[in-house]
A and B are shown apart, each in its own frame.
Chain A
Amino acid sequence: MSDIMDIKYAVAATFSSAKDLFNAAGKVREKGYTNWECFTPIPVHGLDAQMGYPRSKVPRFTLAGGVTGFFTGMLIVWFMNEFDYPLIVGGKPYFSPIYPFPVFYELTILFAAFGTLFGMFFLNRLPRHNHPVFEHPDFGRTGDDKFMIVIEVDDPKFDEDETTEFLKSVGGDSVQTIREPID
């Protein structure tokens, strides 16, 4: 095996209960860290607020998708029935907001759903095949019985020794540096 070069990615601390993690997360937020993440095997209610996260921006994509869908529906009906090939069906006008409303409605729902799904992917930077945090030997257990706080090197307040000490002081069971291999 040749040398594997690596770069520091983050410092991680594990916890054995949701309560410990929840309290520690509050201290991390108070300390002023911004570039950090919690990993939990179960949904922990109120953790977003504890971490100081603002509301998700996904609804904006949903709204944009819905509005686009509504007007796309209108455009389709207008183009086909009024502009390109005017045809009287059932004595109704060529174009009206009433008879083709189901079309507007369905496209609103469809595009709003697309906006939500792809907006979520975009904001979460998905799809993504690998993540440095997988290098942590106990990362698999955050899907089972471990809770983890990870503070990234990119954080402006990050200092390896200081952050390690800090994570120990907030009650981390094991604190270690995650290194991301480059080959």
Chain B
Amino acid sequence: MTEASNHSTSSQSIMTKLLAGAILGLGAGTIGLFQGLQSGDKAPFLGWLWGCSFWLSIAIGLLMLIMIFRVFNSKWSPVVRRQQEHGLAAFPWLALCFLPLLLVAWFGKDQAGILWSWVDPSSPTIEVSSVISVEEDVLHQKKAGYLNLKFFTLRLIAYFAIFCGISHWLRKVSFSQDKDGDPNWTRLGSKVSAIGIPAAALSLTFGAFDLFMSLEYQWFSTMYGVWFFASGIRAALAVTILICLYLLSKGTLKGLFKQAHQYDLACLSLAFTVFWAYISFSQYFLIYSANIPEETFWYTIREIDPNTGALSGWFWVSMGLIFGHFFFPFIYLLFYRNKVDAPKLIFIVCWILAFHLLDLYWNIIPGREIVPGAFVGYDARPVIGSHLLWGVFSLVGVGCLCAWAVIRSFQSGTSEIIPIRDPRIRESINHHE
């Protein structure tokens, strides 16, 4: 057997394994969704949302980075950009993964509001400490023009249409240039990006409002979208670094992906670590300073047990985010050697990805569960619970599906390893500090 056919056999077996993983993970998650519909348990839905949103945030981060590279006409990025463009192949599949949540909202009958309680106006909700229905809640009445199922559906379709559409064009522009070398593709790419940045920025902002913030529809934060953007970019940079260093170690990018590229990506990681902390802290700081109950409860249930006032498990997760998602990566990435030594950088980007997952968990999972007879009428969802188990299923399932789509794009042969006919490619290959 020749080496080439050996290689294709092994890659085929990886693809089969990934598809099997996707079917198993998503299948188990779907069983959870059905069980949740039967028993009225929210946990499988929260888990599903958490698992999908991790991969969605990475894809959105990649999309934003590519468009930013394009509009700035940056000369160092083309070598890196090509690897990111393959990542965009995951978007249509991600849309598919979010579909079950939308279907339940439409066809779930009396369980339609199981994940987003506002979907079903008759579902119970909490006002101060008494239980009322969503339609009686003035905070929903005032938001009903925005938070209603039809408009929500329309928006979700628009978000994914924008993400998939821009991704399709960015890939087409870049891959077509490999074939004919026409510099007009680069101009078109800049135009697509210039239009795409505001479109995608609005989509990801309102997407974060709709998917995550509306889980507790009474709560609101205008910084939420920026938080999602910052998180997505951090995760996307981590994935970019991992892909590039993997391809470098395999020899594919040998002599093309230089230490200077790695250093610049690591510097961007440092910058967005600070940016994430800045946004996350500002959101906390404003709510803390204003001290309005409609806003503060969101942080209260992430810090203490609302009935007893004792520190809850979420307090330690919150502290973990401050020190693990900001303080440690910040100090670590300040040092030059940690940015240019590949193993040291791989360690910290894996760390950032793990804490990004925890950050999403912290944002999505805690919520007020109505408990009749409790002192404040509700209890906060615990850190460890069945939502974690269901979440891991969808995390693995969606991850395998996205990895399959991305590897398929890498192997499809529609593009070169790097954009060989990009006008900036020579500068990118010769990039140095």
Contact A99–B288 (Cβ < 8 Å): yes
Partner of A90 from the list B281, B285, B291 (CB cut-off 8 Å) is B291
**For the complex, what is the distance from the CA of A46 to the CA of B281, rounded to whole Å?**
39
CB of A63 closer than 8 Å to a CB of B: yes
B256-285 interface (Cβ within 8 A of A): 281, 284-285
* A63 proximity list for chain B (CB < 8 A): 334
Q: B284-305 CB contact bits vs A (8 Å, 1 = yes)?
A: 1100110100000000000000
A residues neighboring B (CB under 8 Å):
45-46, 55, 59, 63, 90-92, 98-99, 101-102
Binding site secondary structure of chain A: loop
CB of B336 closer than 8 Å to a CB of A: yes
Partner of B285 from the list A45, A55, A59, A98 (CB cut-off 8 Å) is A98
Contact A46–B285 (Cβ < 8 Å): no
Nearest CB in chain A to that of B281: its residue: A101
Contact B285–A101 (Cβ < 8 Å): yes
* A55 proximity list for chain B (CB < 8 A): 336
Contact B291–A46 (Cβ < 8 Å): no
B residues neighboring A (CB under 8 Å):
281, 284-285, 288-289, 291, 334, 336, 432-433
Binding site secondary structure of chain B: helix
Kindly provide the distance from the CB of A18 to the nearest chain B CB, expressed in whole angstroms: 14
Q: With A45-B432, A46-B432, A101-B281 in contact, is A90–B289 under 8 Å at CB?
A: yes
**For the complex, what is the distance from the CA of A55 to the CA of B432, rounded to whole Å?**
15
* A90 proximity list for chain B (CB < 8 A): 289, 291
Nearest CB in chain B to that of A99: its residue: B289
Nearest CB in chain B to that of A98: its residue: B288
Contact B291–A91 (Cβ < 8 Å): yes
**For the complex, what is the distance from the CA of A83 to the CA of B296, rounded to whole Å?**
29
* A98 proximity list for chain B (CB < 8 A): 284-285, 288
* B281 proximity list for chain A (CB < 8 A): 101
Nearest CB in chain B to that of A63: its residue: B334
Kindly provide the distance from the CB of A183 to the nearest chain B CB, expressed in whole angstroms: 44
The 9 closest A-B pairs by CB, nearest first: A45-B432, A46-B432, A55-B336, A98-B288, A99-B289, A101-B285, A91-B291, A90-B289, A101-B281
* B433 proximity list for chain A (CB < 8 A): 45
Interface pairs (9), CB distance under 8 Å: A45-B432, A45-B433, A90-B289, A90-B291, A98-B284, A98-B285, A99-B285, A99-B288, A102-B285
Nearest CB in chain A to that of B336: its residue: A55
Nearest CB in chain B to that of A96: its residue: B288
Kindly provide the distance from the CB of B267 to the nearest chain A CB, expressed in whole angstroms: 13
Kindly provide the distance from the CB of A152 to the nearest chain B CB, expressed in whole angstroms: 27
**For the complex, what is the distance from the CA of A45 to the CA of B288, rounded to whole Å?**
48
* A45 proximity list for chain B (CB < 8 A): 432-433
**For the complex, what is the distance from the CA of A45 to the CA of B432, rounded to whole Å?**
7
Nearest CB in chain A to that of B430: its residue: A45
Kindly provide the distance from the CB of B259 to the nearest chain A CB, expressed in whole angstroms: 11
Nearest CB in chain A to that of B291: its residue: A91
**For the complex, what is the distance from the CA of A92 to the CA of B289, rounded to whole Å?**
8
**For the complex, what is the distance from the CA of A97 to the CA of B391, rounded to whole Å?**
34
Kindly provide the distance from the CB of A54 to the nearest chain B CB, expressed in whole angstroms: 11
* B334 proximity list for chain A (CB < 8 A): 59, 63
**For the complex, what is the distance from the CA of A92 to the CA of B334, rounded to whole Å?**
33
Kindly provide the distance from the CB of A144 to the nearest chain B CB, expressed in whole angstroms: 25
**For the complex, what is the distance from the CA of A149 to the CA of B433, rounded to whole Å?**
22
**For the complex, what is the distance from the CA of A108 to the CA of B334, rounded to whole Å?**
15
**For the complex, what is the distance from the CA of A90 to the CA of B288, rounded to whole Å?**
10
**For the complex, what is the distance from the CA of A101 to the CA of B283, rounded to whole Å?**
13
Kindly provide the distance from the CB of B334 to the nearest chain A CB, expressed in whole angstroms: 7
**For the complex, what is the distance from the CA of A93 to the CA of B334, rounded to whole Å?**
33
Nearest CB in chain A to that of B284: its residue: A98
Nearest CB in chain A to that of B337: its residue: A55
Kindly provide the distance from the CB of A62 to the nearest chain B CB, expressed in whole angstroms: 9
Kindly provide the distance from the CB of B432 to the nearest chain A CB, expressed in whole angstroms: 5
Kindly provide the distance from the CB of A162 to the nearest chain B CB, expressed in whole angstroms: 33
Known: A98-B285, A99-B289. 6 other contacts (CB 8 A): A55-B336, A90-B291, A91-B291, A98-B288, A99-B288, A101-B285
Kindly provide the distance from the CB of A168 to the nearest chain B CB, expressed in whole angstroms: 30
